[in-house]
């Protein structure tokens, strides 16, 4: 009887505040000494929630507004989003600069971290803390720049021990992609006696890649178009800073062998400049196209120097690899460097920052606080 009365009061408070209410029954409250909760009961009373909503039309718009609970797409897990992040693809979606969004209206945000409120899946239960990256979220399916998200259970992974929800989005899709790049280079036995190049090094993927590679003992050269970021990049572990213009100048079919491995986050002319400078047997993990989608090169790096060009996809990456990458990130990404690469902003600040990230004016990782 006491429980029924207490639950009724909780539901009433939740409705008054228009917020999801989490309530836990702990054994210690009833004189027991067990440390595990008997039950966790969640109520979702809010009928509306705050989200960044993109609408097509003339003009193309992206505004923070209230959305209705019944507008959420289908899925078997409802998540209270704590943090999301701003990625280059989000910038394209929010500004309309790229044809990222497939249907409208759309809530962008290709990743999020939060707490499960409701679950029809045996894999998750209310109270579980989870991460989502990729799977077309923010493109075909409402994404993470929202206080609530409803998604398919198989798109989620548990929050690794030792990470907060905020830190998870400090890593986010960018850091997850960087880790996949590092794992790909490792699988091809990149020579640690040679330099390893990271292009777009001051950006989200690049910053994390520099920090991880340096932590693992590689000699990292950071290429950037923003030489003003030299101190920042060296604080992440870069040994040398390379002006991006060296790579964008049309190269010879083969240049002097220099790099044993590379993480290319840019594509286009930059990747064109990287390939002829790779050492024999070197590998390039390519994951970005901010510099363009066309690649103009010759076959010589591949047939005369046995260079490997490794494509990296983080969107539909298999679950087993996802879990391994997140486990590696908790160990191989120094936490102080992660904190140094992060800035946390409100949802209302995102549209302006979306324009800035497309112009290469955002350093490191932008974390968006939702709750």
Q: What is the pLDDT of residues 311-368, one digit of tens each?
A: 999 999 999 999 999 999 999 999 999 998 899 999 999 999 999 999 989 988 999 9
Is there a single domain that holds both residue 280 and residue 357? no
Predicted confidence (pLDDT) per residue in 25-66, tens digit = 333 333 333 333 333 444 445 589 999 999 987 789 999 999
Mean pLDDT of 246-273: 96
Whether residue 99 has pLDDT greater than 90: no
From residue 366, how far is each of 140, 149, 167, 216, 331 by CA, in Å? 22, 20, 11, 25, 21
pLDDT of residue 49: 96
Whether residue 1 has pLDDT greater than 60: no
Mean pLDDT of 148-170: 97
pLDDT of residue 59: 87
pLDDT of residue 47: 80
Query: Is the Cα dihedral 91, 230, 346, 356 positive or negative?
Result: negative
Does a structural domain hold residue 84?
yes
Whether residue 256 has pLDDT greater than 80: yes
Is there a single domain that holds both residue 97 and residue 138? yes
Predicted confidence (pLDDT) per residue in 191-250, tens digit = 999 999 999 999 999 999 999 999 999 999 999 998 899 999 999 999 999 999 999 999
Is there a single domain that holds both residue 194 and residue 301? yes
Is there a single domain that holds both residue 178 and residue 48? no
pLDDT of residue 237: 96
pLDDT of residue 7: 41
pLDDT of residue 45: 53
Does a structural domain hold residue 259?
yes
pLDDT of residue 102: 87
| Alpha-carbon span 130 to 78, nearest angstrom | 11
| CATH assignment at residue 240 | 3.40.50.720
Provide the domain count of the chain. Answer: 2
Q: What percentage of the chain has pLDDT greater than the value 90?
A: 82
Is there a single domain that holds both residue 193 and residue 110? no
| Alpha-carbon span 45 to 7, nearest angstrom | 13
Cβ-based neighbour number of residue 300 at 10 Å: 14
Q: Give, as one character, the DSSP assignment of residue 154.
A: G
| CATH assignment at residue 37 | 3.90.180.10
Whether residue 24 has pLDDT greater than 90: no
Considering the entire predicted model, what is its pTM? 0.86
Q: 68: domain range?
A: 11-171+343-369
Whether residue 275 has pLDDT greater than 70: yes
* Beta pairing partners, 40: 24
Is there a single domain that holds both residue 263 and residue 142? no
Is there a single domain that holds both residue 279 and residue 353? no
Is there a single domain that holds both residue 163 and residue 182? no
């Amino acid at each position: 009887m006491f429980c029924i009365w207490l639950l009724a009061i909780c539901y009433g408070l939740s409705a008054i505040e228009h917020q999801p209410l989490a309530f836990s029954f702990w054994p210690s409250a009833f004189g027991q000494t067990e440390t595990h909760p008997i039950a966790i009961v969640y109520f979702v009373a809010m009928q509306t929630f705050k989200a960044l909503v993109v609408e097509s039309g003339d003009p193309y718009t992206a505004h923070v507004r209230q959305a209705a609970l019944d507008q959420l797409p289908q899925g078997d897990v409802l998540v209270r989003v704590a943090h999301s992040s701003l990625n280059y693809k989000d910038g394209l979606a929010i500004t309309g600069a790229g044809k990222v969004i497939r249907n409208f209206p759309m809530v962008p945000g290709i990743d999020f971290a939060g707490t499960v409120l409701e679950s029809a899946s045996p894999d998750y239960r209310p109270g579980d803390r989870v991460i989502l990256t990729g799977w077309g979220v923010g493109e075909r399916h409402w994404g993470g720049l929202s206080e609530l998200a409803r998604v398919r259970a198989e798109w989620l992974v548990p929050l690794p021990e030792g990470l907060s929800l905020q830190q998870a989005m400090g890593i986010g899709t960018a850091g997850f992609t960087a880790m996949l790049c590092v794992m790909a280079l490792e699988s091809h036995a990149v020579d640690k006696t040679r330099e390893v190049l990271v292009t777009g090094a001051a950006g989200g993927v690049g910053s994390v890649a520099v920090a991880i590679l340096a932590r693992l003992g590689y000699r990292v050269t950071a290429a950037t178009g923003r030489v003003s970021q030299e101190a920042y990049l060296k604080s992440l572990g870069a040994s040398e800073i390379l002006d991006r213009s060296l790579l964008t100048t049309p190269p010879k079919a083969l240049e002097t062998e220099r790099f044993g491995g590379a993480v290319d986050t840019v594509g286009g002319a930059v990747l064109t400049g990287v390939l002829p400078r790779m050492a024999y047997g070197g590998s390039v993990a390519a994951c970005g196209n901010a510099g363009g989608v066309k690649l103009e090169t010759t076959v010589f790096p591949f047939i005369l120097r046995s260079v490997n060009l490794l494509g990296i996809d983080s969107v539909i990456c298999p679950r087993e690899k996802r879990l391994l990458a997140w486990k590696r990130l908790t160990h191989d990404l120094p936490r102080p460097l992660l904190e140094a690469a992060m800035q946390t902003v409100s949802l209302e600040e995102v549209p302006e920052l979306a324009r800035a990230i497309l112009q290469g004016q955002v350093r490191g990782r932008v974390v968006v606080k939702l709750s």
